[in-house]
A and B are shown apart, each in its own frame.
Chain A
Amino acid sequence: MVRGRTALVLAGILFGAGVLAPAQESPTPAPAATPTPAMAPAAETTPAPAAAKSSELPKCADCHTELVAAFAANPHARWSHKGKPPDIEEYCSTCHGDGTKHIEGGGDAALIQKFHGAEGAELCLSCHEKTNEHASFATGFHSNTAAVNCLSCHSIHKAVKTEPFLIAEKPGELCQTCHAGISAAFRNKPYAHRLDRGGMTCLDCHDPHDRKGQTVKLTRQGELACLNCHTEKRGPFVFDHVTGTGGDCLSCHQPHGSDNPKMLLWARVDQLCLSCHSQTGGPATAGAQPPSFHDLTLPRYRNCTSCHVAVHGSNLSPVLLK
């Protein structure tokens, strides 16, 4: 509690300090920082810097005032070298190319490079093609196609302010565009993770750039993403149950929203448990049959967890009683 309070106060002070910090005189954006690895080559792959730097011609900011001012907070404004005077024209021309004709043409939109669809996204990949340990952006689950490409989800100039990675909409709304059924389950089902409210988003569990069939993130220890938050379920337990023994969290739970309490697959706990813990013949399977005193005609035995409280694993009881 004390630490939580301290963190909040620190956050407030940090925030206050940021607000109170003396601003610089220049109204132009900062030359800013951090060329991320993916961004670093931008300087090398930049199309020829704008020739339209002639003092006779207007600057980009003269017409696109708000757009240019807002660009200061854009991660793409950070690849410049420290000490170099801020030159927003150079930032603009990196993606939009030489703007001389556009300026000379009185702002004719046809005379400036704009980006749409997959072909526009190819420009993004010219810098961001560098891969991480999962998959490259070009060959991942949402690889650059006409139907889904970088610009389907990211917006350079109109990103959501409170989200990282220049995402065009709140992640839940964004993913809903294609994954409407899953998004509706989060929004409508009575038992669901609290998506897009309070910080949790689809991106906490899913990596949209990973390869098909492998979009569920892993923890730093290589486990299912559920354990990033539900760390107390990780163990190791002397008496293990489903997770780590052949199944995982999804063997019993529906993380995308459920009609059943605890986001379980079944409404009745006894039916869920007995779906594995029944020996009815056929191939040998894991899951022991409960002894005969478990009389399902009595409510206490239909509530398996009334006794077997440690269903996620136990260090104390071979039958998960504590």
Chain B
Amino acid sequence: MRKSFRLALAVLTIGIPAGAALAQTPPPPSVPEFELGYRFVDVSGNDQMYRSQINDRPGFLLHMLSWNSTAPVDGLFDYAHLDADDVGAGPAGSLRFSAGQVNIYRLDFTWRRTNLYSALPAFANPFLDDGIVPGQQTYNRSRDIYDAELQILPGKKFTPILGFTRNIYRGPGTTTYHVGENEFALDDRVQSVDDEYRIGLAFDVGPVRGAVIQGWRRYRWSDTASLQPGAGDGNITFPILGQPITADGIARTTTSKVNTPVTSAWITGQLFSRVKLIGSYVRADANGDAQSAETDNGSFVSFQIARFFAGLDDSISSKAKTDYWRGSVRAEINLLPNVDLTGGWTEKSRTLDGMALVTSLYLDTVTYAGVSVGDLQKLVQNDTAIDRTDRTFDATVTARLFGPFAFNAGWSQTHQDVTFSDQSSEVLAAEPGQNFTRTVNTYGTGVSYAQSGLTFSADYRRDDGDQPIFRTDFTGRDRFKLRGGWKWKDLVQIGATWQETHAHGDAPEIGYSTKVRELLADLEVGPVAKILTFHASAGEFKTTRDILIRQPQDFDIVPSAQREMGHTWEGGLRALWKSLTVDAAYLWMQNNGSVPFTINRVRARAEYGFGANVGVVGEWIRDQYGEKPAFDQAGSLADYNANRYGVYLHWRP
């Protein structure tokens, strides 16, 4: 990983000065702007928590790069553009390249890498009370996404399109497995490759435009899991009814593959100059196969008088098929100058048919009477089916450019229909064959105003649902948004936003309600134009979620509550003095809710320019995170203080 970045950076580093050197003689130079350097990281406290939340890594970093061709290269391209963002040390970087020749081709390529790390102290951690962190489900993986699209004869009446996307997700982790009467910690490694090939044709014929794309998705997944060294005692470390529940070995390999042809098409047409029709259609029928082989050895069941087993050989073969389509027809009608009516119909349908054949071989089983009957094989076939349809009608009137005002008002209705047939997942439905329907009507309106540096907008939406499918589905919801701002030259800029959502369910037996409020006000003052700017902001956030739940252990119905409430304060400055630019900001945030925490953040960056082309950048970023004690939260075990220091060379052509 590190080597690959270093190699790429080396190539880039060699290429830049070499290119610059050659480009010093006419014809004109084609030199990129870039910022390249090294980042140091210093973390005290819980490094794993820091990596789960931020994960800036030490190492070489290409902060940014931007290069444009300034002249065509015959036979290759008329224009080319390359840019990069945070490539190197991680945790996330990207690169984008585009090039083309007029009337011949247009090529776009992007690559993005993300390092994904999670080792949270309080997540999936039954031993948190004992001060043992992190939890048992962790990962340290990466995701690479490559996407390339080639248009041939772009802009012509007919444009062939070729495309390819690859998404690779891989790396180690830890997970858990519940078998018998205990859970065991496993080492886990996954690798998945998701490829999509596309071929299509775009057309632009008179008033009609559109495209038809046929794609093929090929997904492959493999996962190997095995008992962690020393984890044989499981999460329950004491005997149950005198019987220790332990594992000597657990090994499982799972592979799955999914093939999905994807057809998509859209078309637009202009009628009578005032009416535009838009249609779209997507169909994706996925066929998946999964195979799993598992071998477990140990003592997994407690009852001496009951059947217990010394080992398990499990093999599972499953197939899942979904037929999915989504279609829409829309119209945009220009009623009057600057007054439009838009509306349409959208429908999507998904059907799932699944089958899993589970063959379990229990080794050395003992009956309730204590008689050994040797190995016992059990075959279980699960058949699942789900049908889901969502149908939406909507209409909106937009009136814009009425002097400084604009208005909109709209309505939409969505009808959902879900049926869980056969066995489905046991967690989904209380009983097989259940059918749920839900209709939501949404009404909304908004107004905006802008004149002489003053802007204002207000939006309100009301949703009415007839009945829930999930307990957290609202039957009534109100959403308010207010924004205002005032800008006077480059001297003063003031802005404020208020956003609030109230949702509730009608059923007193469920007792569902949610309120979310966000307030933010900011101020920017530039007493010396383009030289010195101060900025500050203050915010308040408050979330309350309430619902009644039934405790499984005693069937009592009790209230459950989630709280998030706190404030943020930010302040900073930007200054330019001769060859020195400074940009610094400080943030303080506090949450007094279900996870009470405080965050202190500093962002400081200074650049000193040596001449017109070269600058040296120094960067300091500090994140200080501290939690207060709370039920089932990590408290001070989560705390960390992370400082990153970067030194970069900034080259401006």
Contact = CB atoms under 8 A, between A and B. Distances in A.
Given A34-B100, A184-B520, A267 B235 contact: no
Nearest to A148: B448
Interface residues of A, number: 154
A15 B591 contact: no
A306 B332 CA distance: 51
Contacts of B78: 30-34, 78, 82
Interface stretch (B175-183, B370-378, B572-580): B175-183
Contacts of A81: 102-103
B528 interface: no
A133 B552 contact: no
Contacts of A237: 288, 320, 354
A222 B390 CA distance: 13
Interface in B129-153: 129, 135-137, 143-146
Given A5-B7, A144-B401, 14 more contacts: A35-B154, A37-B202, A78-B79, A135-B330, A161-B66, A185-B541, A190-B53, A199-B96, A236-B322, A238-B355, A259-B593, A269-B123, A320-B425, A321-B177
**DSSP majority for the B interface?**
strand
Interface string A308-322: 110001111011111
B420 interface: yes
Interface in B46-99: 52-53, 64-73, 76-87, 91-98
B581 interface: no
Interface string A232-254: 10111111111011110001000
A290 B552 contact: yes
Between A78, A118, A269, A282, the greatest number of chain B beta carbons within 10 A of the residue's beta carbon is seen for A282
A222 B326 contact: yes
Q: What 4 A-B pairs are tightest by C-beta distance, nearest first?
A: A19-B19, A199-B94, A198-B92, A12-B11
Contact of A18 (B82, B135, B282, B396): B82
Contact of B114 (A21, A29, A37, A198): A198
A120 B66 CA distance: 29
A314 B382 CA distance: 12
B632 A277 contact: no
B613 interface: no
A229 interface: yes
A322 B252 contact: yes
Interface string B242-279: 00000000001010101010101011100000001010
Contact of A286 (B154, B260, B418): B418
Contact of A303 (B67, B124, B262, B522): B124
A24 B423 CA distance: 69
A163 to B, nearest CB: 8
Contact of B18 (A19, A197, A274, A296): A19
Contacts of A187: 587
Given A72-B68, A118-B401, A286 B429 contact: yes
30 contacts: A11-B95, A31-B72, A33-B102, A34-B102, A34-B154, A144-B401, A146-B449, A181-B519, A188-B570, A188-B599, A200-B94, A220-B215, A221-B282, A238-B290, A240-B354, A245-B418, A261-B52, A274-B550, A282-B508, A283-B468, A285-B468, A285-B469, A286-B469, A288-B429, A288-B430, A291-B552, A299-B128, A306-B178, A318-B426, A322-B254
B595 to A, nearest CB: 5
Nearest to B78: A33
A146 B470 contact: no
Interface in A16-54: 16, 18-27, 29-37, 39-40
